[in-house]
Structure 1
Amino acid sequence: MNNPLICPLCRKPNHCAYAAGRPAEECWCMSLSVPKALLAQIPDEQRGKSCVCEACVRAYKADA
């Protein structure tokens, strides 16, 4: 089951403002770009339904 408030990679809260019903402009992802290679790791059944969390983005960038 897809939960739009859970990161599809680590299964922790993604803190997505838009999914929580707030304006997208308030989301953390507006100030931090999400690498396409990281988005490619989202399972097909969750793609476009759940956002990756900031922690996963920062960890991916630190390892790159």
Structure 2
Amino acid sequence: MTFETKLCPFCKKDNNCEVLKPSSCWCMKTKIPDELKLLVPSLEKNKSCICKTCVQEFIKNPSSFKSKYSF
């Protein structure tokens, strides 16, 4: 399986990660739920950032998010 580090491991859209930029990334200022991080497929753990939309969607309704992404 191949994946792109700039794509969210869930929705596969651009994750807008800017962690390597001097201003840092939005995710460095946002609490990503541990439960969501545990759902990242093992091959993508610590290699591909979750996008802001998926983080917000998970926080809003974890059950719906899990159903949408077949967990």
TM-score by length of 1: 0.83
- Considering fraction of residues, name the structure with more helix: 2
Structure 2 equivalent of residue 26 of structure 1 = 24
Question: How many correspondences in the alignment?
Answer: 61
* 1:37 maps to which of 30, 35, 58: 35
- Distance apart, 1:26 and its partner CA: 2.2
Moved over 6 A (4+): none
Q: Flag structure 2 segments of 5+ consecutive residues without an equivalent.
A: 63-71
Structure with higher Rg: it is 2
Q: How does 1:1-64 map to 2 (within 5 A)?
A: 1-18=2-19, 21-23=20-22, 25-64=23-62
Contact kept? 1:8, 1:42, Cα under 8 Å: yes
Q: Which has the higher contact order (CA 8 A, sep 6+)?
A: 1
Q: Identity of paired residues, percent?
A: 33
Q: Flag structure 1 segments of 5+ consecutive residues without an equivalent.
A: none
